[in-house]
Each structure stands twice: as C-alpha cells, then as structure tokens.
C-alpha cells in the first residue's frame, strides 16, 4: 500500500501476527478495483473461482462440503466469567482459548500470503461507524470484504496515528509445505475450527473455516457479537435488523427496523415492492442495524454493511424481484449450481430447472440419489449500491430516524397477523419472546417451536438477560421519542394447512397500518396481547381475501395464549438469576 501506516498499535499487531503465522509474504489491501480483479484472476487460474459467462464480472466458488455454514457449536464468547457470556453462548475462559488457538496459529500461513484488510463498518465519515482490520490468508475473503465493507486507503487515513480499531484475525488453517499442491477450497477439519470472540478486548480470532460469517469477520462476528457488547458499554444498539424507508402518497417518510429469525422473509421485506397505490419502499439495509441517539433525542440507524450476503435458494422474481435484479453483475456466488450455458442456478429460481448442470459439489446433476443442485445455504455476495430500490440516504453518515420496530416469526397458529405493543417495555417483552416454528433452514426437527429473542440468540456477544435490560434502559433514555413496537406473523394457516395471508408485497398493507397508528389515523382494538387492527382497519383494496380469513388472521385465542405461558416461563427461567449484574 502506497499510503504510510502511522498507527503504531496497528503496525505492531501486524508484525506480531506475521511472526506467529509465518506467511511467505504480507500484502496490505488498498480496496481498489485493480486489486479485486487481480485476486479474482489469481483464483481463477488456481481453479478456486469459475468465471460466469452469463453475468458480467461474476464468479462461482464451491466450498469444501465440511465448510458450508456458520458453525455455531464452534463459536465462542470468551469472557472472564461464564455468567457474562450467559446461557445462550458457548464459553471458554480467555487464557485457555488463546493458548489453544495460538498453538493452531503457529506457522498456519506458511506457503501463503497474509492479507491485511483495513475496513470500515458503516460510511467512513459516520459517527456511528467503526473501523476493523482483518488479517487473513484467504484471497476469497479479501474479495468478499471488498463488497461487504468499505476497504482501503481511506480507512487507514481515518484511523490516523491514534485511532481505535477492532483486530480481526482469520486463517483457513491450511499451511502449505514446500512444493505441496493446494486444493480448490483449503480449510481445517471441523474439530479444529474456532470462531472466537473476546468482548472485553474487542478482539476476534477465527481459525479453520473459509466460509461466510466464519471468515468475513465484519459480518456477524464484528457487526453483532462484538458490536452488541460495545453498544451495551457505550449506550447504543447493534441489532440483527433490516432497515427500510416507507414513503406515503403524501410524501411522508417512515423508517422501520425489523428483526426476524431465519426463513421468515427478512430480505424480501427489506426490498419490498408495495402493492398499495402511491406507497413507495426503499431499502437501507437487509440484515444489520447500528443505532445511536441523535442530538434531537431520536434513534438514528445506519446499515454498517456495504453489500448483501444473501441466501440464494428460494430467491426468484416471484419471491424477491429486487434481489434478482441486484445480482446481475459484480457478484460472488458460493455453492450454487453451474448451468451448461455458464450461469448459476438454484432450487426455487424462476422457470424450469436445467436438464443438466454441475452441482455445488462439482458433480453432474441431476444426481442418481436426487440431491439438490445448490446447497441449502448457497449464497450471493453483491454490492448494496446495485439494488434498484436502495434508499438514496442509505449511506447518510448520521443515519435515518427510526419510527417503528417490528419483530416477528413463523407461526402456523396462535400469533395474529399484527399486533402493537402497549408500551416500549411491552414491546421489549414481545421481542424477548419472539418465536418461530423451525424449518429446514434452522437446526432441529421441522415444526418445533424455537424462541429466538430479537432474532439475536446466535449473535448476542454477552448475557442475554443483560441484553434485555439494555433494551429497557434504551427505552428509558428515549422516553416519548422511542420507536413504536409491533409484532407480525405472515405465516398463519388454516387447520388444513392453507396460507391465510398472501405475504410478499401485500405485507405493505400491514406496514401502512403501523404508519397510520403512529399518525393517530387508525383505530385499534385492545386485546390481552396488544392492540390489533379493527375489522376494517387494514387497507384491503384490490385484494381478494375472504372476510372469514381476515377474522382468523386477527383472532386472539386466549386459551391458546395461556398454553404458551409455560414455554415462555421456561424460556425466561434460563436467564433467571444468571444475569451478570
């Protein structure tokens, strides 16, 4: 890198890692297009990347079958005491974990290049942004970080001599002996994979995996696990939430931050195309929201990411046309199928499946045993700037003011289409008890009820009991300027399994009701679980839906809710006296 690095702490850390990991050379990333293209060309030559004929500047990668997803059982929150990590996190004492990992890191980059990636989470000039430095031996990680974060010289300049940064150390854990032939996806076996977080030091160490959030350390590791602990200490919020702007026909803007467990249509909602005339939706972010209280006492949010790391299977022009338009060029695809025409394919894509393809394991497809062509967690990494409905203010340094928080889950029964919390504290209760019936995307038997508070269970970097308290404390600080809180369930069914609500673009009707509630333009019915729309409260113009279905969607069955209480009590009991305060 041409720019001089003036930060002594950074220079010393890089030197220390170099001595421990012993790479063949060290390369400082500048974030340029030239750098990206050269690394891609290098990976294409080595057989790691496949250039796609049908999509400009786009490439397909196939990971090792042992390295396809987040490895939550190998993910650790390392705090001084176990109580600080809480019952939902895997805990190992810092000294013990560091000793184990240092022995693995010793000489782990032999035969490889060590890349130093200076990156910003959030627009570089934003008061809400944070700087990270990721050290990695994976060119695949460098190229993904180019898309997912803001990488390069500007970050080093912003850091200056005394700036603070979050050190993120990553290695695929596959040193090369002299003359040893590399494989197309090097990684370590599962028992040697570690994704470790040290919140007291704002430190991330990852070893053995080259995939997704295990390796792109700006993603869940920094943006949620470490940032949530920083946010608790510093008085802000780091949340697993999409951010969208909804504009009414009168031109009034509403900003919504929403948290859903996996397989609940989060990206689809972030890129919503309203079906109600005159309403417009724009995407600020599809996954993570960092929020601070502004000078006016309101909560302002930025999307700390610069790209989308989206699940590919099930994405189509039918389910999410805006995502499909986003991924036409400049995209990294991982574990998708490759068609004979030189394009990608996955299950759930529009049109007929190809007669023949190469599946994510590099085999002819269809396979004899009828396996899927694309892995269930196949991904696309795409620049957010390419999204046709990206909000013009998505990189506004001060962020956008949040009016509404939405929580939700996938429930066939019990939970109505929408209800509003009576107060901010009641809304915190709704977020803390958020539940979903498991699907193939979750671990566990399909159909089991799983509590996923605030959709943060795998991502909270400290005790979740303390996390609930932090939400209550933020409500106290915000007072009457706190966002209103709602809970939704797009997935209610009839007893014979028919969907009651069409979902997708029609969800704008529910969001419209929320906006009208804020403006005191919509009536609500009081129920034991919250405020619900009146019979004619939702705008159903142009939607052919039976009156009995609307009644079922908004039905509150008191006995069914009473039956939920033991599970809710059991859920809270795990935190009980465990909070670290």
Distance CA 488, CA 510 (A): 9
Of 29, 108, 221, 264, which one is the catalytic site residue? 264
For residues 406 and 478, the answer to whether their CB atoms sit within 8 Å is no
- DSSP codes of every residue in 172-216: -S----TTPPPPSS----GGG-EEEEEGGGTEEEEES--SHHHH-
E strand or H helix that includes residue 432: helix 424-432
For residues 212 and 68, the answer to whether their CB atoms sit within 8 Å is no
CA 484 vs CA 70, 250, 519: distances in Å:
33, 21, 11
| Catalytic site includes residue 264 | yes
Closest CA to 456 of 439, 432, 473, 438: 432
Angle at 412 between CA 411 and CA 413, to 5 degrees: 90
The token duo for 502 is 């069409």
Closest CA to 307 of 360, 234, 361, 386: 386
Distance CA 467, CA 107 (A): 38
Closest CA to 422 of 531, 534, 532: 531
E strand or H helix that includes residue 141: helix 139-148
Closest CA to 219 of 149, 133, 128, 269: 149
From start to end of 12-104, where are the E strands? 25-28, 49-51, 59-61, 75-77
Q: Do the bridges between strand 166-171 and strand 203-207 make them parallel or antiparallel, or are there none, so unpaired?
A: parallel
CA 276 vs CA 255, 263, 271, 368, 515: distances in Å:
17, 25, 15, 46, 13
Distance CA 406, CA 400 (A): 16
Residues catalogued as catalytic: 264
């Amino acid at each position: 890198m041409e720019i001089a690095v003036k930060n002594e702490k950074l220079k010393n850390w890089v030197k220390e890692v170099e001595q421990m990991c012993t790479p063949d050379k060290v390369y400082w990333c500048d974030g340029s297009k030239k750098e990206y293209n050269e690394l891609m060309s290098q990976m294409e030559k080595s057989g790691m990347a496949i250039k796609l004929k049908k999509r400009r500047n786009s490439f397909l990668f196939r990971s090792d079958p042992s390295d396809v997803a987040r490895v939550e059982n190998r993910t650790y929150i390392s705090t001084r005491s176990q109580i600080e990590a809480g019952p939902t996190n895997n805990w190992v004492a810092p000294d013990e974990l560091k000793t184990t990992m240092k022995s693995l890191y010793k000489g782990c980059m032999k035969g490889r290049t060590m890349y130093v990636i200076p990156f910003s989470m959030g627009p570089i000039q934003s008061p809400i942004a944070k700087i990270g430095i990721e050290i990695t031996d994976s060119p695949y990680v460098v190229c993904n970080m180019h898309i997912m974060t803001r990488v390069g010289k500007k970050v080093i300049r912003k850091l200056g001599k005394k700036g603070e940064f979050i050190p993120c150390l990553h290695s695929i854990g596959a040193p090369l002996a002299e003359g040893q032939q590399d494989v197309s996806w090097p990684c370590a076996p599962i028992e040697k994979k570690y994704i470790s977080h040290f919140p007291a030091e704002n430190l991330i160490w990852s070893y053995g995996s080259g995939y997704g959030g295990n390796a792109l350390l700006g993603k869940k590791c920094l943006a949620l696990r470490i940032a949530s602990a920083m946010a608790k200490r510093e008085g802000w919020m780091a949340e697993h939430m999409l951010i969208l702007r909804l504009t009414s026909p009168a031109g009034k803007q509403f900003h919504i931050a929403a948290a859903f467990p996996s397989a609940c249509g989060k990206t689809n909602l972030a890129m919503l195309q309203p079906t109600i005339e005159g309403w417009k939706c724009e995407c600020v972010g599809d996954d993570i929201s960092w929020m601070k209280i502004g000078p006016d006492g309101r909560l302002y949010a930025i999307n700390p990411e610069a790209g989308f790391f989206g699940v590919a299977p099930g994405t189509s022009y039918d389910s999410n046309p805006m995502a499909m338009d986003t991924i036409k060029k400049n995209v990294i695809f991982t574990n998708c199928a490759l068609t004979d025409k030189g394009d990608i394919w996955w299950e759930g894509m529009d049109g007929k499946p190809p007669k023949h393809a190469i599946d994510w394991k590099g085999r002819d497809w269809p396979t004899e045993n009828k396996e899927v062509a694309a892995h269930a967690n196949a991904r696309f990494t795409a620049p957010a700037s390419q999204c046709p409905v990206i909000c013009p203010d998505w990189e506004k340094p001060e962020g956008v003011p949040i009016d509404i928080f939405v929580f939700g889950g996938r429930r066939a029964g019990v939970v109505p289409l929408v209800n509003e919390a009576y107060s901010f504290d009641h809304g915190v209760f709704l977020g803390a008890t958020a539940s979903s019936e498991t699907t193939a995307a979750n671990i566990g038997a399909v159909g089991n009820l799983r509590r996923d508070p605030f959709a943060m269970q795998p991502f909270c970097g400290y005790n979740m009991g303390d996390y609930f308290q932090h939400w209550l404390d933020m409500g106290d600080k915000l007072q009457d300027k706190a966002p209103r809180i709602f809970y939704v369930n797009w997935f209610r069914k009839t007893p014979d399994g028919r969907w009651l609500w069409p979902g997708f673009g029609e969800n704008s009707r529910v969001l419209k009701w929320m906006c009208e509630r804020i403006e005191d333009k919509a009536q609500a019915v009081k129920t034991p679980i919250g405020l619900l729309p009146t019979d004619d409260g939702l705008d159903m113009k142009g939607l052919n839906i039976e009156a009995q279905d609307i009644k079922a969607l908004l039905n509150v069955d008191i006995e069914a809710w009473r039956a939920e209480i033991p599970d809710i009590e059991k859920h809270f009991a795990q935190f009980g006296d465990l909070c670290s305060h």
